[in-house]
Amino acid sequence: MTPSPTQPHKKAAAFRRGIVTFVILAVLTALEFWVSQVTGGAAVFLLIIALAKAGLIVEYFMHLSHLWGEEAH
């Protein structure tokens, strides 16, 4: 059984999405560190950043948005 011609494209797209997710999480983590150092740990700002990171993780690893989309078989 040979792989479909779109399979390498799907793998490349998934790899790019993983890299983008990694970079965004790294930037948000650096922002969290900066906010904690500058503001002395302003809980509201840290909570907002943590919720953004949690949303990104839930979307990337749990594919939550697919629950409301059309089913593809």
pLDDT of residue 71: 60
Residues 49-70 have a mean pLDDT of 81
Q: How far apart are CA 44 and CA 5, in angstroms?
A: 48
Percent of the chain, pLDDT > 70?
78
What is the per-residue DSSP string for 33-70?
Answer: HHHHHHHS--HHHHHHHHHHHHHHHHHHHH-GGGGSS-
Residue 46 has pLDDT above 60, yes or no: yes
Name the packing angle between helices 7-39 and 43-62 (round to 10°). Answer: 170
pLDDT, tens digit (0-9, with 9 covering 90-100), for 9-34 = 888 888 898 899 899 999 999 999 99
**pLDDT band at residue 51, thresholds of 50, 70 and 90?**
very high
